[in-house]
A and B are shown apart, each in its own frame.
Chain A
């Protein structure tokens, strides 16, 4: 009787397509909006992910997020104090200072000057042109690819050998890096920590973060606690700092409400369109279901037939919706100037759960009608 159930479903083409399209729309909207939301959250902690070598990020106790809400610098002694904590294998300075760059011809751009460790270059994203070691040259900087494009001068993106000024210091581009797209809308300029100190306005404190690695076999959370106890600073694992940055961004922008409303709308539209159409489909078939019941179809069999129909439309709508969302992400997502997009596998499970709720709700409402149906109704014309 499964084939009978499917033929009944496919036979009512208009309604079948309506149900599937409604579920596709719901699935697409839920997946697409959640992917953009997650993409934006991921951009809030892109700089942390650009430094995968770091087990710990050490910062001022009041800091919550990277590159958001400002930087409260640490005393330069913090680096040595962290290096002295048991369980810390290495620790390097990390500077992040918003400044203004002068490109000449009257052009000025906001930049985030990032100073990475002079020796190890930890904190530098993958170098795509030139070499990290070239940073040791006089006035050398690396630009991130997106930033280089934003630095366009006379219609041409800056490249190796180009020169500009930061705080009246001559900066020479010696290469490019590929930084992960971030919330920061200016350009990233990478140089050594010592040069970054020279180029930033003189203050008593210049160190933004200390990046540390723990000794092999050590528990990162335990070492972080030890660092906090020894220095009075905040020490977070990379994952903690990522989630903290995402949480700070979400709390201070209200985007969860905006995206939540869009996701909720997708769910409601899916329920309203597909749920009602499915219910109507079942109600229109009641006389045939009643005839089947009179002929000896058990409640269990009718239940199975209805669930099979709901399962098929749910599966089709889910597949088409998430597939379209994935295509959309592949085409429109990507760089800093493009759509923020992150579609982790668990999001597909969440969307699947939402679609399952819609079709099960519709199926249960329909089943209530089917199960309450008296077989004798078919004799009433």
Chain B
């Protein structure tokens, strides 16, 4: 299968108080379409930074990142924003659901950002709410939901505009084991399909079996890529 994401020789550092800390040191990574790739490694190894670079939310200092055949590192900020809007879905560690909006309204946001009219966006959002098992709670506020349910909403929000690449940052870190299992099973069930790739950053080894491949990272570089035993 073709690579949907290609990162080559990516270099990125952060400067704090005049001290420059290299985070990515010429990192290479490829993600094929139709696969769920997990990016794992110890805290501070650069997983989230690499995810941010792949998602086009962070500038890089060296190397190149190509997503869906488009060089993100050469795109102007506004063009990169439009690219993210059309082609990427996001699942955040802290859910980041807007508290004042209902489940359906939260899910509908990416569709609205892509220019759909509110009624159309909400209709699509309701379908997604059903698919993640929250049809009966469509008009609830996030504060009325459990952590697992909130992450289901976040998954539906990441998929409502049918993006080609979904990036997930520690999607199970704030959930208990059982709920984390449910969330990963749901992600595999509703998100993985031909033509789409998922990149999941995690250090939760219990969910490794849900990955098609696992890329191990340490000190800013990929140290190895492996295929885990399939989930039962």
Q: Which residues of A pack against B, CB within 8 Å?
A: 1, 3-4, 7-8, 10-12, 287-288, 290-298, 301, 374-376, 378-381
User: When the two chains form their complex, are residues A294 and B55 in contact, meaning their CB atoms are under 8 A apart?
Assistant: yes
Cβ of B57 < 8 Å from any Cβ of A? yes
Candidates A7, A292, A295, A298; contact of B100 at CB < 8 Å? A7
**Which residues does chain B contribute within 8 Å of A294, judged by CB atoms?**
55, 57, 84, 90
User: When the two chains form their complex, are residues A379 and B82 in contact, meaning their CB atoms are under 8 A apart?
Assistant: no
CA distance A185 to B86 in the complex (A): 75
Name the residue in B51, B81, B170 with the highest tally of chain A Cβ atoms < 10 Å from its Cβ.
B81
Q: Shortest Cβ distance from B171 into chain A, in angstroms? A: 12
**Which residues does chain A contribute within 8 Å of B55, judged by CB atoms?**
294, 376, 379
Q: Given A1-B113, A11-B100, are A296 and B82 neighbors across the interface (CB < 8 Å)? A: yes
The chain B residue with its CB closest to the CB of A9 is B100
**Which residues does chain A contribute within 8 Å of B96, judged by CB atoms?**
287-288, 290-291, 378
CA distance A381 to B88 in the complex (A): 19
User: When the two chains form their complex, are residues B92 and A298 in contact, meaning their CB atoms are under 8 A apart?
Assistant: no
Q: Shortest Cβ distance from A117 into chain B, in angstroms? A: 71
8 inter-chain pairs at a CB distance below 8 angstroms, sorted by A residue, are: A1-B113, A4-B98, A4-B105, A11-B98, A287-B96, A295-B109, A379-B51, A379-B169
Q: Shortest Cβ distance from B172 into chain A, in angstroms? A: 14
Q: Shortest Cβ distance from A370 into chain B, in angstroms? A: 14
CA distance A293 to B96 in the complex (A): 12
User: When the two chains form their complex, are residues B90 and A295 in contact, meaning their CB atoms are under 8 A apart?
Assistant: yes
**Which residues does chain A contribute within 8 Å of B58, judged by CB atoms?**
374, 376
User: When the two chains form their complex, are residues A296 and B52 in contact, meaning their CB atoms are under 8 A apart?
Assistant: no
- Per the 8 Å Cβ criterion, residues 153-172 of B in contact with A are 169-170
User: When the two chains form their complex, are residues A1 and B112 in contact, meaning their CB atoms are under 8 A apart?
Assistant: yes
User: When the two chains form their complex, are residues A7 and B105 in contact, meaning their CB atoms are under 8 A apart?
Assistant: yes
User: When the two chains form their complex, are residues B48 and A295 in contact, meaning their CB atoms are under 8 A apart?
Assistant: no
CA distance A268 to B110 in the complex (A): 40
Q: Given A287-B96, A291-B96, A376-B52, are A296 and B81 neighbors across the interface (CB < 8 Å)? A: yes
User: When the two chains form their complex, are residues A381 and B105 in contact, meaning their CB atoms are under 8 A apart?
Assistant: no
Candidates A288, A295, A374; contact of B85 at CB < 8 Å? A295
**Which residues does chain A contribute within 8 Å of B194, judged by CB atoms?**
none
Candidates A1, A296, A301; contact of B84 at CB < 8 Å? A296
Cβ of B118 < 8 Å from any Cβ of A? yes
**Which residues does chain B contribute within 8 Å of A288, judged by CB atoms?**
96, 98
Candidates B57, B82, B98; contact of A374 at CB < 8 Å? B57
**Which residues does chain B contribute within 8 Å of A297, judged by CB atoms?**
81, 85, 113
CA distance A11 to B102 in the complex (A): 11
A interface, by DSSP: helix, strand, loop or mixed? helix
CA distance A209 to B84 in the complex (A): 80
User: When the two chains form their complex, are residues A298 and B101 in contact, meaning their CB atoms are under 8 A apart?
Assistant: no
CA distance A31 to B151 in the complex (A): 50
User: When the two chains form their complex, are residues B100 and A296 in contact, meaning their CB atoms are under 8 A apart?
Assistant: no
User: When the two chains form their complex, are residues A7 and B101 in contact, meaning their CB atoms are under 8 A apart?
Assistant: yes
- Per the 8 Å Cβ criterion, residues 78-107 of B in contact with A are 78, 81-82, 84-86, 88, 90, 92-94, 96, 98-101, 105
User: When the two chains form their complex, are residues A296 and B57 in contact, meaning their CB atoms are under 8 A apart?
Assistant: no
Q: Given A3-B118, A4-B112, A379-B52, are A11 and B90 neighbors across the interface (CB < 8 Å)? A: no
Candidates B51, B78, B109, B169; contact of A298 at CB < 8 Å? B78
User: When the two chains form their complex, are residues B100 and A375 in contact, meaning their CB atoms are under 8 A apart?
Assistant: no
CA distance A140 to B195 in the complex (A): 104
**Which residues does chain A contribute within 8 Å of B57, judged by CB atoms?**
294, 374-376, 378-379
The chain A residue with its CB closest to the CB of B58 is A376
Give 1 or 0 for each of B172-190: 1 = CB within 8 Å of chain A CB: 0000000000000000000
The chain A residue with its CB closest to the CB of B94 is A381
- Per the 8 Å Cβ criterion, residues 53-72 of B in contact with A are 55, 57-58
The chain B residue with its CB closest to the CB of A12 is B100
Q: Shortest Cβ distance from A17 into chain B, in angstroms? A: 14
Q: Shortest Cβ distance from B66 into chain A, in angstroms? A: 19
CA distance A11 to B58 in the complex (A): 31
Give 1 or 0 for each of B27-54: 1 = CB within 8 Å of chain A CB: 0000000000000000000001001100
CA distance A4 to B157 in the complex (A): 15
Closest 7 CB pairs of A and B: A11-B100, A296-B85, A291-B96, A376-B52, A375-B57, A376-B57, A376-B58
User: When the two chains form their complex, are residues B98 and A295 in contact, meaning their CB atoms are under 8 A apart?
Assistant: no
CA distance A371 to B118 in the complex (A): 25
CA distance A379 to B91 in the complex (A): 9
Q: Given A4-B101, A296-B86, are A380 and B48 neighbors across the interface (CB < 8 Å)? A: yes
CA distance A3 to B104 in the complex (A): 13
**Which residues does chain B contribute within 8 Å of A374, judged by CB atoms?**
57-58
CA distance A379 to B57 in the complex (A): 10
CA distance A291 to B84 in the complex (A): 12
**Which residues does chain B contribute within 8 Å of A376, judged by CB atoms?**
52, 55, 57-58
CA distance A7 to B90 in the complex (A): 22
CA distance A292 to B169 in the complex (A): 16
Kindly list 7 other residue pairs between chains A and B, CB separation below 8 angstroms, not including A290-B96, A380-B48.
A4-B101, A4-B112, A291-B96, A296-B110, A301-B113, A378-B57, A379-B92
